[in-house]
Structure 1
Amino acid sequence: MDSTCAPLLPNGLGAATNLGTIKEEIKTKADAIVASTIPDAAPLQNFLALTRAGDVLYQSTAGTRQLGSSEPLRFDDMFWLASHTKILGAMALLKCIDMGLIGINDSVLDHLPGLAKEEVRLDPNDPSSATQPRVGDITVRNLLTFTAGNAYPVVDILAALNPETIVTDPKAFFPTNESVYEGSHAANPNQIWRYGAEADYSGLLVEALTNVSLGQFIRTNLLDPAGVEAKDFAFTLDSEQRARLVGQHVRVSPDMLIPRAPIYDDANIKFESAGAGGFGTINALGLALLPLINQGVHPKTGERVLSSELVAQMFTPQLSGDEVENGLNQPSQASNDGGVLFPGTPKQWGLGALLFPEGFETGRGKFTLAWAGFTNVNWHCDIEKGVVMLAWSQEIPQDDPVYNNQTRYPIERVIYDAIGNSFF
């Protein structure tokens, strides 16, 4: 683990003395960006920025529920979260630690016999490679830091798809069964950071430890204490939620987006995927993330969701120098083009998500925690400046540079420029 520590949580509102003026400045400039770029840079967008106290700093809704539709997007529409679900899975496993059900350095293999049996590829990048027995234990920390050595079978499946099929075939193509996570490992534990199936195993571990479904555990221990209504998050949609489900899209060129049928079929799930299986509203996820910049306590409900000690560890670099150099600074399946994530930007991994120890070019503060979903559903928790920010669309491939550079990042810059030194 890196010895660098995350910043201490600022006390109170800091220098922010006129929230109304800041909000007005943000709204004028950010609304202009949205109006000039949606639906060209992205088919649709819900955007939400919350202060540490849980007050809305900026929110907007733009576009229709799918290209070609006349029905406007709504703020309470349901989005497929894809890997945005991972942070909820991580928080759920951390809650199990708080409950005394397991320790962060405890082995998980007795609880996950399927994981215990998996072997390691001789060629880490070849799913069909010959294998050999795993060397080394796998702990809770390994799952939360993506250092267990897991490959990501679902990404291998997606990479093998015909691009024409992705665009034109109306059938869902994202797996909803064990093929998401089951398969040979890319490395032995504690060798590298690699984007793999660890998050799904985290969810399976929560179920093994608690004997309740992942969705029910998240509902009871994370969402209810955050004031999130039951209708605004699910792994399987009921008829009312499905009526609010936003349509999905594929970018086929920098200037062309095509609508398509749902990528993930929630009606046919075989397990509740902590890695990619959630559906929710942007407000629900914003509320759920607020405890992370408040030492584990929800600012609106007053409920403690996680211990302050574990929250501090989430924002503390967990990887060794070798794990960073041989993992985070290497080409990754998590990037848009298979290249290095955020090249040239200092990176680390906390417990459950990517860390930016020196912040990010848009103005994010030091040790901001962040990740995103396959369909360009993005979030970050800025513990230094006291902001939770979510920028959601529904298109693939992930981390779309057109959307990022024309809409998402310009709005971020507007928000951070307006905040200045008035940290919340």
Structure 2
Amino acid sequence: MHAGGRTAVEPDSAPMAEDTQFRIASVTKPIGAALTLGLVHEGLLGLDDPVTEWLPELAGHRVLTAPDAPLTSTVPAVREITVRDLLTMRSGWGVIFEPTPLQREMARQQVSPGPLTPPMTGDEFVARIGALPAACQPGAGWLYDTSMDLLGVALERATGTSLARLVADRITGPLGLASTGFRATDPARLATAYLPGPDGLTVLDPPDGMFAAEPTFRELSSGLVSTAPDLLRCFTALADGGAPILPAASVEAMTTEAITPAQRDQGVPILGPGLSWGLGTGVEIAAAEPWQAPGAWGWTGGTGTTVRVDPSRELVGVLLTQRGMAGPQDGFDSFWSAVATA
């Protein structure tokens, strides 16, 4: 474990410490997947259950005739969306890079994926998504992010329990992760978050900002705050077979490629070389970079965080920074290369 630098760019800011908290952004997704698969293992829901049982706002949803079609050019969905569709990012809603009518309307409705939590409740988020046509049929295409937020609301409704309590009871409690949750336990320990730009770094969220209070919308896609020791403990538990939060078979299912080659190609702008998608986490399928290895898995967060499990090297690595990513491929190759070499 190594902590370097300071918690903010100001020279009088506190030095970084091992227990400094970070907004881990999309590193939340594998933790959310583990939570979901634990509920599946206990029979509280099934991977192939239609989510309209808990998200009736998505019942009878429409699908665009083409991803760039006008919002009025739609056809009925050929089937209902399932829990598996949400874990595999195949609901039909998500990140759209091209300037399409759906992309513009998602931005107008404030439901586009981004670095901070949408300013609404989870119920309102689902309602706004359900009122929009999907870009593709359920299970047909890979679109990043939105599915996991829909899943989080589904889990709350399916169990009658808040996402914060589910995470506490089923993930952080059993593993003893005292510094992981949907808000900073002590804002004084929370590092300032920055975004890079042409004129340098700008503040995305200060320590007393959005993550200093209970959120109105707990995002399963990107809502957690955590520390390096907590994440090492969590992902090491999963790497060692999943106990006490998951059986080994569930970890294997989670970390096995679950999308088609065509869907993987569709996701390349986000996934990058050598990487595909399992159930809520990235999975490596080829050594496109020297540090990669088929069978390794993990994910990165847009706020500058990354976690990777590499069974071939018997390692679990965590890097938490406060510099947000400038784009999907503004990644951590140099860090993972150094780790693999070591």
- Among residues 237, 262, 266, which one is paired with 1:291 in the alignment? 237
User: Shift of the alpha carbon at 1:380?
Assistant: 1.3
Equivalent pair of 1:359/1:367 in contact (CA under 8 Å): no
Any unmatched runs of 5+ in structure 2?
A: 97-101, 109-114
Q: 1:300 corresponds to which residue?
A: none
| Distance change in 2, residues 1:94/1:104 (3 Å) | same
Aligned counterparts of 2:299 and 2:285: Cα–Cα separation in 1:
14
| Distance change in 2, residues 1:248/1:362 (3 Å) | farther
Equivalent pair of 1:176/1:265 in contact (CA under 8 Å): no
Aligned counterparts of 1:282 and 1:129: Cα–Cα separation in 2:
47
- Among residues 334, 342, 348, which one is paired with 2:276 in the alignment? 348
Equivalent pair of 2:118/2:217 in contact (CA under 8 Å): no
Q: Normalised by the size of structure 1, how large is the TM-score?
A: 0.68
- SS for the counterpart of 2:223 is coil
User: Shift of the alpha carbon at 1:79?
Assistant: 0.9
**In terms of mean alpha carbon deviation, does 186-195 or 132-141 score higher?**
132-141
User: Shift of the alpha carbon at 1:234?
Assistant: 1.9
User: Shift of the alpha carbon at 1:274?
Assistant: 0.5
| Distance change in 2, residues 1:128/1:109 (3 Å) | same
| Distance change in 2, residues 1:361/1:97 (3 Å) | same
- Among residues 165, 170, 182, which one is paired with 1:235 in the alignment? 182
Q: 1:258 corresponds to which residue?
A: 202
Query: Are residues 1:63 and 2:5 paired?
Result: yes
> Percent of aligned positions with the same letter in both sequences?
25
For the aligned residues, what is the CA RMSD?
A: 3.0
Any unmatched runs of 5+ in structure 1?
A: 1-58, 162-171, 298-303, 336-340, 419-424
Q: 1:328 corresponds to which residue?
A: 267
User: Shift of the alpha carbon at 1:250?
Assistant: 2.0
Equivalent pair of 1:248/1:260 in contact (CA under 8 Å): yes
User: Shift of the alpha carbon at 1:313?
Assistant: 1.0
User: Shift of the alpha carbon at 1:214?
Assistant: 1.0
Equivalent pair of 2:274/2:289 in contact (CA under 8 Å): no
User: Shift of the alpha carbon at 1:365?
Assistant: 2.5
| Distance change in 2, residues 1:243/1:362 (3 Å) | farther
Rg larger in 1 or in 2? Answer: 1
Q: 1:412 corresponds to which residue?
A: 336
User: Shift of the alpha carbon at 1:410?
Assistant: 3.0
Q: 1:214 corresponds to which residue?
A: 163
Query: Which amino acid is the alignment partner of residue 165 of structure 2?
Result: Q
Matches within 5 A, 1:22-171: 59-70=1-12, 71-116=14-59, 118-125=61-68, 130-152=73-95
User: Shift of the alpha carbon at 1:119?
Assistant: 2.9
Query: Which amino acid is the alignment partner of residue 52 of structure 2?
Result: L
Q: Normalised by the size of structure 2, how large is the TM-score?
A: 0.83
**In terms of mean alpha carbon deviation, does 257-266 or 93-102 score higher?**
257-266
Equivalent pair of 2:182/2:214 in contact (CA under 8 Å): no
Equivalent pair of 1:215/1:272 in contact (CA under 8 Å): yes
- Among residues 309, 318, 332, which one is paired with 2:258 in the alignment? 318
Aligned counterparts of 1:359 and 1:176: Cα–Cα separation in 2:
40
Q: Provide the aligned length of Structure 1 versus Structure 2.
A: 322
User: Shift of the alpha carbon at 1:356?
Assistant: 0.9
Q: 1:378 corresponds to which residue?
A: 306
- SS for the counterpart of 1:60 is coil
| Distance change in 2, residues 1:126/1:390 (3 Å) | farther
Equivalent pair of 1:79/1:246 in contact (CA under 8 Å): yes
> Which structure exhibits the higher relative contact order, with contacts defined as CA atoms closer than 8 Å and separated by 6 or more residues?
1
| Distance change in 2, residues 1:356/1:173 (3 Å) | closer
Aligned counterparts of 1:104 and 1:260: Cα–Cα separation in 2:
36
User: Shift of the alpha carbon at 1:312?
Assistant: 1.0
Q: 2:217 corresponds to which residue?
A: 271
Query: Which amino acid is the alignment partner of residue 236 of structure 2?
Result: L
